[in-house]
Each structure stands twice: as C-alpha cells, then as structure tokens.
C-alpha cells in the first residue's frame, strides 16, 4: 500500500475523501496496519495531536510494528480506549469478545461524520469531562453508543495533554540550547579577555573604572550594613554579627524590610532584608507599616536614642538629679544633662521653658498589664482620665515581636490637660516605643516627632509643646505589684499660660511625673477593688454587682464630660463667648446638644474659673465633698441637709468613691432629687464632680440597667496644690526665718442647659446668670473657710 498516497488522499479530501479501512488481519498485513495508523493520525477529530512526518515513509511501518506488538499484552478495553476518538469498534457482545481470545476475527471500524465531530468538539470546549447524563444525551443526538462518546472524550483529553507536554518540552529545549550557547560564549571570553577601552588583549590584574566604582560602592554598602546591624542589635538587645559579616540574599521566608539610613543628620538610605532569625529566634517577624522609607529610618533611630536616654535618666542619680530640700523632690541638673546627652529632637526653640521631674512608686499591677495599657490609646486614656483629654494612634510602625509588645513602635496624638481654663491643652504628636530589657523589666518611652516631620518635608503646624524622651521603666515585684520609675521631660511655650499657674508648671508639678504616678496608683487600686469579689467596708450591700458597674460607668462618663468642659478639649465642639460683663478670669463657652442620649437636648452653657485660696488641698477637698456641709455653698441643696443613700468605694481612702445623694424637701411644694457625685484624691490633686439625675433613671441604673441613656450635665471642682512661687503669704518665726504659706488652686466649673431648643439663640441674661452663679459659689466657699482676705 502506498502510504504517501493515502496521506495525500486524506489531506486533500478531508473526512469525505478518507479511505475506510476494513477487514484487515492484524497478524498478516503489517503494511495495512501502518496505513490504518496513518489514517488515524490524519483524522480531523485529532487535529491538535502531533502527526507523524509525511516525508518519512518508514514511520508508518514502525508504527504498524508497534501496533502489532502491543496487541498481545493489552486488555480488550484498553485496546479500544487507546485508539483515536474518531474510530470506534462496532458494538460487540461479551461472548464475542471472549471468543476473540481463541480465534482471530475481522473487526470493522467506522469514522465519525463531520457533523458528529463538530458536536463532540463543541461540547469538549465547554466541558472536557461530561458526566454520564451528558454523554447519554449526546449519544442519542449523534446516534452513537455511550461508550463511543466516552472513549472519544478520553482520547481527546489524552491527546490534548500530550500536545501541551510536547510544547513545553520544546520550549525548555530551546531555553537549554540558549543557555548552552551563552555558557560557551562566556567560556570563550574568559579564555581570551579583551580590554573594553582599546579593544586589545586585557592584562590580568588591571581593573576597569567601572569595576573600581563597584568595589568602592561595595565597601560603602558593607559599612552601611554594619551600621544597620548595630542599630538592630540595640533595638533587639542581641548581636547580629552574622548579618554584618556578609551580604546575604533575602531568606526564603523573609517578610521584613527594615529601612535604615537617612536620619536627619546625614547618611545614606538603603533597605536591608532580614529573615526569621531577626528577633532572637521568634517565629513571627517584625511587621513594618511605615509612613515612608525615609521616615521609617528616622523613627527607628529616634526610638533607640530616646529609649537609651530614658533608661539612663531613670537609673542615674547625682549629679544628673539633685535632691532639693526646699521643694522636697528631685531637680534635673540641666548642665549635667547637656553634657551626658545629645538633643535627639534638636535644640530648644527660642522662648521655650523646660520642665523635668522623676518619681518612683509601687503600684498594684504587673508589668505586662501596664505595658498593654500604655500601648493601647483607649486604655491609656481610661487609666488617666483627668490628665488625657483625647488620644489616638495615628500609625503603627511595629506591633511587636513574638506576640508581645517588645519592639512595638507607634505614632500617637494626645491632648494633655490640667483642669483649669487658665492652662491651654497641650497637643503633642509623639512616637511611643516599648522594649523589654529583661525578664519582668519593661520600658515605654515617648518622644515628639514634629522636628522629624519638618526634616522630611511633611506639613506641620506651630508646636507649643515638645515632649523630650519621657516615659516609665516598669519592674515586676512579688504579689502582682510593680515598681514604676516615671520620667517627664517637656519643653513648652508659656506665653498663653496664666501667671497664676506658671510657677506650678515650671516646677514640674502641673504635668510632672508625680502626678502621673499618683493617678496610676489610684486607678490601679480602684481596678483591684472592682475586680475583687468582696464588697468593701462602707459600701451599700443593697446594690447588686451589675448595679455597681452601671453606676461606676455613669460616673466615669460624668467626670469625662466635666474635664472636657473645663479644658475646652476637642471632645466637644465648643464656641467661646466674649461678653463684656463677664469676669476676666471666667471662660464662658457654648455648644449644641443634639441626638445625644446621655445629655438633655438644647443649648449647653459652660463656665469655669480658677482662683487661689490660702487653704490646704486636703481641707478644701474634705469641705466640698461632705454632704452635711453642702448647703453652705450649693444652691441645689435648697438650703437643707443632704443624705448619702448609696456609696461605692474606689480605693482605700474614703474620699475615693461614687455616691448618690438625696436632698430633703424643705416643704411640700418641693420635690426631692438625687445627685450623683464622684470624688477622688491623690498626691497630684483632687476632684469633686456632681450632677443632678432623674430618680426613675437612677433606679434603673442601680438595678443593673444601661446607664448610657441617663441624661446629665456635670459641674464640680478641681483642686491642685500650688507650687513654689504661687501668690501665698509668708510668715516668720522667732529666729527671723520666713516660709511661704501653702495654698490651693481651685477650679470651679458649671455646665447648664439654658434652652431646650438646639436652634434657640443664647441670651445675655443666661450668660450673666451663669457668671453670677460662679461668683456666688466662690464667695460662699471663701466665707465658709474664712479666707475672704
């Protein structure tokens, strides 16, 4: 049989011109078998398969030989599936197939029609793996047996896979040839080096200008890498010499890029890939989400420098800190400080003053819990409600390593307050860095970043306060206690501070470390009592545990709103009023209360003032919190006695509590009312905050109901010990020595609903009424304490 002629007939006539091969004995006619195989390859149903070469006449013979050799070892089912999807054996019964094992027989093959192949191809494109239902439907439509359809799809998938594999092999073979040719050319070039400048043979030992530059650049990068590893070693507290000795490629599991370089003081910028070994064997590496590459490097170096300064300032005594017998606390030796430290945020701006203080105390909280509180902006504000008006975390540079806060760096914004309208709120943008120095020893440092933002070109506003490295070092002690060493170091502009408070701030008392440690100790003591299962002595046992929590939550909201009204923080949007008949030291503000279930709707007026009184803070606090003496200054008491009907202790001191007071009606026309009051006192100052509350609403709260819907407007007093240089008189003893009489700085503040319509306009009479209320209250306090002069 002419194989070439068969191919020509098949290709020329398509399926219609294909030769039908029938009744061909397998064992006797090998040439016929080769022709049949050749026709199978030329089937349009197998157009994607790689066909045998037309010009090679021996391929058909070899294929026939292979075809015959495979007959003896294949099963009958495999024999049918191995043939082309376009050629299928007519249906044969099982008995006929068994008889075929004993005697040779002739088989007939049928080629699918073009319409059948077109239908099969169309379905194959949509679904290469049809299910039994689809095959049955297709076999009925094409007048084929189900197994013919099944075998066609099996062979079609096999041929598709074979074609893809051969195509990939061809591409890989081409790539291999290309690489082999490049390898040969490189070897040839190495045998005969040529000078790039003159084109002649190169002399071994000479270095081109480009290679010289590369060597210089390599040396510079190695120096930069050494500096990076030194920074990282300080950051982690462990050496990274293995990274400094060689420049290694990024590790496979590396997901950290630590940018270092430009720090505002010169230097270059590069990126160092670090692997899982970075961090002392901790499995999860340091996540970095920097503002940009330059600022990331600057923040890292600033954090390390600030941490180093904080630790030294907390551990070094004289001559850095000098104990002053006059003020009874430590004073920073600025000359020694300038000698020991380089300013990490630049020199002090002109006209700024410096305040510095250090305080050590023991608090009932472990180091891990305190660190978590300081690194969470919301919990930090709850721990210091009288000192922090508002705070937020603006960016997280690092969230720590190993599931802890070790190595955490974040950018924060805070509004720090002193409860007086005569002292503006301090707004600071700072970096907070937490590091574990040893087992049970942690340090958290803050440092302002405004100078770095100016260096990097970021938009900034005028800074009235700069926070030098400040923070605390915490060390675990037995029984769940911790030793806290707090350092506060601030530069600020005092031009907008009232002269009454300037000595207090410059001495480091107003925003100093003593106030932070005292507030921390009081809050931790309160939390320990609240978490205790026993009811403190003096508490009313009639209040359930859920009722106590609801009352404390309501009191917390009341105190927070009072502080926001005194300091005019951005918690509420206040509008300052300038009225001619209001006292100079009285600040009057107004705001609209709309859609706030915790406040009555309408126009809220806030008035606050601060005065100095020649009375000790303890005496003044005891007078203002005593419900039996309340009628001497409070017009809400209706001139009669008040009774405490509920008491919840918040500390060992009886003055730290939340209480519910009831005023007795003087006659039948007056209805009794309730007053919710919170009092607290520590070494940094004291607070008395109160608000009238509705009786049915408080009954719901005391039974454990939601306190968020209790409407109240707080008023109260803030008491701060005056500092050295305050306007107190001096007395002399018989020896001629004189000393200043200590006093208190008292802040009086009221929030009053002047109109229940938020759209109403504020009248002058309302402002004068509030101004007279403040003046009258201050005069009554002075008269009761006999300090009018």
CA dihedral 267→273→278→283, nearest 10 degrees, is 150
Condensed to tens digits (0 to 9), the pLDDT of residues 263-297 reads 333 333 333 333 333 333 333 333 333 455 667 77
In which band, very low, low, confident or very high, does the pLDDT at 788 lie, cut at 50, 70 and 90?
low
Identify any residues that bridge with 784 across adjacent strands, giving them in sequence order: none
Domains of the chain: 116-165 (1.10.10.60), 295-455+462-528 (3.30.530.20), 541-727+741-785 (3.30.530.20)
| The most confident of 563-572, 653-662, 726-735, by mean pLDDT | 653-662
The per-residue pLDDT for 380 is: 94
The yes-or-no verdict on residue 20 having pLDDT over 60 is no
- Compute the average pLDDT of residues 513-530: 90
The yes-or-no verdict on residue 562 having pLDDT over 50 is yes
Residue 30's contacts (CB-CB under 8 Å, 6 or more residues apart) are 61, 64, 65, 68
The per-residue pLDDT for 436 is: 92
The per-residue pLDDT for 510 is: 86
Pick from 601, 609, 525, 587: nearest CA to 753: 601
In which band, very low, low, confident or very high, does the pLDDT at 191 lie, cut at 50, 70 and 90?
confident
The yes-or-no verdict on residue 514 having pLDDT over 80 is yes
Condensed to tens digits (0 to 9), the pLDDT of residues 203-249 reads 555 555 667 668 777 887 887 787 777 766 666 555 654 443 433 34
In which band, very low, low, confident or very high, does the pLDDT at 765 lie, cut at 50, 70 and 90?
confident
The per-residue pLDDT for 198 is: 66
The per-residue pLDDT for 558 is: 93
Count of C-beta atoms within a 10 Å radius of residue 67: 18
The yes-or-no verdict on residue 175 having pLDDT over 60 is yes
Share of the chain above pLDDT 70, in %: 68
Average pLDDT across the chain, whole number: 75
In which band, very low, low, confident or very high, does the pLDDT at 786 lie, cut at 50, 70 and 90?
confident
The per-residue pLDDT for 461 is: 59
Residue 33's contacts (CB-CB under 8 Å, 6 or more residues apart) are 24, 26, 63, 64, 67, 68
In which band, very low, low, confident or very high, does the pLDDT at 580 lie, cut at 50, 70 and 90?
low
The per-residue pLDDT for 453 is: 62
Which segment of 93-102, 197-206, 394-403, 725-734 scores lowest on mean pLDDT? 93-102
- The larger pLDDT score, comparing residue 44 to residue 374, is at 374
**In b/e form, how buried is each residue of 138-169, taking b as 16+ CB within 10 angstroms?**
bbeebebeebbbbbbbebbeebeeeeeeeeee
- The larger pLDDT score, comparing residue 648 to residue 103, is at 648
The per-residue pLDDT for 564 is: 86
pTM of the model: 0.62
The yes-or-no verdict on residue 350 having pLDDT over 70 is yes
Q: Using alpha carbons only, what angle is made at residue 92 by residues 88 and 93, rounded to the nearest 5 degrees?
A: 150
Phi, psi at 196, each rounded to 5°: -75, -20
Pick from 213, 209, 193: nearest CA to 201: 193
Three-state secondary structure of 184-211: HHHHHHHHCCECCCCCCECCCCCCCHHH
Condensed to tens digits (0 to 9), the pLDDT of residues 620-645 reads 999 999 988 888 888 767 667 788 88
Condensed to tens digits (0 to 9), the pLDDT of residues 352-387 reads 999 999 999 999 999 999 999 999 999 999 999 999
Q: Specify whether the CB–CB gap between 449 and 263 falls below 8 A.
A: no
Which segment of 52-61, 95-104, 293-302 scores lowest on mean pLDDT? 52-61
Residue 239's contacts (CB-CB under 8 Å, 6 or more residues apart) are 233
The per-residue pLDDT for 530 is: 79
- Compute the average pLDDT of residues 8-25: 38
What CA–CA distances, in Å, run from 129 to 80, 124, 150, 571? Answer: 19, 8, 9, 65
| Start-to-end C-alpha separation, the chain | 136
In which band, very low, low, confident or very high, does the pLDDT at 667 lie, cut at 50, 70 and 90?
low
The two three-digit tokens of residue 436, written as one number: 């574990």
- The larger pLDDT score, comparing residue 84 to residue 256, is at 84
Pick from 710, 654, 646, 656: nearest CA to 681: 656
Q: Using alpha carbons only, what angle is made at residue 428 by residues 355 and 351, rounded to the nearest 5 degrees?
A: 45
d(C-alpha 204, C-alpha 198), whole Å: 15
- Compute the average pLDDT of residues 522-536: 78
The yes-or-no verdict on residue 403 having pLDDT over 50 is yes
The per-residue pLDDT for 443 is: 96
The two three-digit tokens of residue 785, written as one number: 């304490």
The per-residue pLDDT for 476 is: 94
The per-residue pLDDT for 770 is: 86
In which band, very low, low, confident or very high, does the pLDDT at 474 lie, cut at 50, 70 and 90?
very high
The yes-or-no verdict on residue 48 having pLDDT over 90 is no
- The larger pLDDT score, comparing residue 223 to residue 327, is at 223
């Amino acid at each position: 049989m002419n194989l070439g002629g068969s191919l020509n007939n098949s290709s020329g006539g398509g399926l219609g011109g294909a030769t039908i091969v029938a009744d061909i004995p397998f064992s006797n006619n090998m040439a016929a078998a080769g022709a049949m195989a050749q026709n199978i390859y030329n089937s349009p149903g197998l157009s994607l398969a790689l066909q045998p070469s037309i010009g090679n006449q021996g391929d058909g013979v070899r294929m026939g030989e292979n075809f015959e050799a495979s007959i003896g070892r294949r099963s009958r089912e495999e024999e049918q599936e191995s043939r082309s999807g376009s050629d299928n054996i007519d249906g044969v019964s099982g008995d006929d197939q068994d008889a075929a094992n004993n005697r040779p027989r002739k088989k007939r093959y049928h080629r699918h029609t073009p319409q059948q192949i077109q239908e099969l191809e169309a379905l194959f494109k949509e679904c290469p793996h049809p299910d039994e239902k689809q095959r049955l439907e297709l076999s009925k439509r094409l007048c084929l047996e189900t197994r013919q359809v099944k075998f066609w799809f099996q062979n079609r998938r096999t041929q598709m896979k074979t074609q893809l594999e051969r195509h990939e092999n061809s591409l890989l073979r081409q790539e291999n040839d290309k690489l082999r040719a490049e390898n040969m050319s490189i070897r040839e070039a190495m045998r005969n080096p040529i000078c790039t400048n003159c084109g002649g043979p190169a002399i071994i030992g000479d270095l081109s200008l480009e290679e010289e530059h590369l060597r210089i650049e390599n040396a510079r990068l190695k120096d930069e890498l050494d500096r990076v590893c030194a920074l990282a070693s300080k950051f982690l507290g462990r050496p990274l010499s293995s990274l400094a000795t060689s420049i290694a490629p990024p590790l496979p599991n590396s997901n950290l890029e630590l940018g270092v370089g430009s720090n505002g003081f010169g230097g270059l910028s590069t990126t160092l890939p670090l692997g899982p070994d970075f961090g002392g064997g901790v499995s999860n590496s340091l996540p970095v989400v920097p503002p940009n590459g330059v600022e990331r490097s600057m923040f890292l170096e600033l954090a390390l420098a600030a941490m180093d300064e904080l630790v030294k300032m907390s551990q070094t005594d004289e001559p850095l800190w000098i104990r002053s017998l006059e003020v009874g606390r430590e004073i920073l030796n600025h000359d020694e400080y300038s000698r020991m430290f380089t300013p990490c945020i630049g020199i002090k701006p002109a006209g700024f003053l410096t305040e510095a203080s250090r305080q050590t105390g023991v608090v009932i909280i472990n180091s891990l819990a305190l660190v978590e509180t300081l690194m969470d902006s919301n919990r930090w504000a709850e721990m210091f409600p009288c000192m922090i008006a508002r705070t937020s975390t603006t960016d997280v540079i690092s969230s720590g390593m190993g599931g802890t806060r070790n190595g955490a760096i974040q950018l924060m914004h805070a509004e720090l307050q002193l409860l007086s309208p005569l002292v503006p709120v301090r707004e600071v943008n700072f970096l907070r860095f937490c590091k574990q120095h040893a087992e049970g020893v942690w340090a958290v440092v803050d440092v302002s970043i405004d100078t770095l933002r100016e260096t990097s070109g970021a938009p900034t506003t005028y800074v009235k306060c700069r926070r030098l490295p400040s923070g605390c070092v915490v060390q675990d002690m037995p029984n769940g206690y911790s030793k806290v060493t707090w350092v506060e170091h601030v530069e600020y502009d005092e031009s907008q501070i009232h002269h009454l408070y300037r000595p207090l701030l410059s001495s480091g008392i107003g925003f100093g470390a003593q106030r932070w440690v005292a507030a921390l100790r009081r809050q931790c003591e309160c939390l320990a009592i609240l978490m205790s299962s026993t009811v403190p002595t003096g508490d009313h046992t009639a209040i359930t545990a859920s009722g106590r929590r609801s009352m404390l939550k309501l009191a917390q909201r009341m105190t927070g709103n009072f502080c926001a009204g005194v300091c005019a923080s951005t918690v509420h949007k206040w509008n300052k009023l300038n009225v001619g008949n209001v006292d100079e030291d009285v600040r009057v503000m107004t705001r609209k209360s709309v859609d706030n279930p915790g406040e009555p709707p309408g126009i809220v007026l806030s008035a606050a003032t601060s005065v100095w009184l020649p009375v000790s803070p303890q005496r003044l606090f005891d007078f203002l919190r005593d419900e039996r003496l309340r009628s001497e200054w409070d017009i809400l008491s209706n001139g009669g006695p008040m009774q405490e009907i509920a008491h919840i202790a918040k500390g060992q001191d009886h003055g730290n509590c939340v209480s519910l007071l009831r005023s007795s009606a003087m006659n039948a026309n007056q209805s009794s009312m309730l007053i919710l009051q919170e009092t607290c006192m520590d070494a940094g100052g004291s607070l008395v905050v109160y608000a009238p509350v509705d009786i049915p609403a408080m009954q719901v709260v005391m039974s454990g109901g939601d306190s968020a819907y209790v409407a109240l407007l707080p008023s109260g007093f803030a008491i701060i010990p005056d500092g050295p240089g305050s306007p107190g008189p001096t007395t002399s003893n018989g020896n001629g020595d004189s000393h200043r009489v200590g006093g208190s700085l008292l802040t009086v503040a009221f929030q009053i609903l002047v109109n229940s319509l938020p759209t109403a306009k504020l009248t002058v009479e309302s402002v004068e009424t509030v101004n007279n209320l403040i003046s009258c209250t201050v005069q009554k306090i002075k008269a009761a304490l006999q300090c009018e002069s």
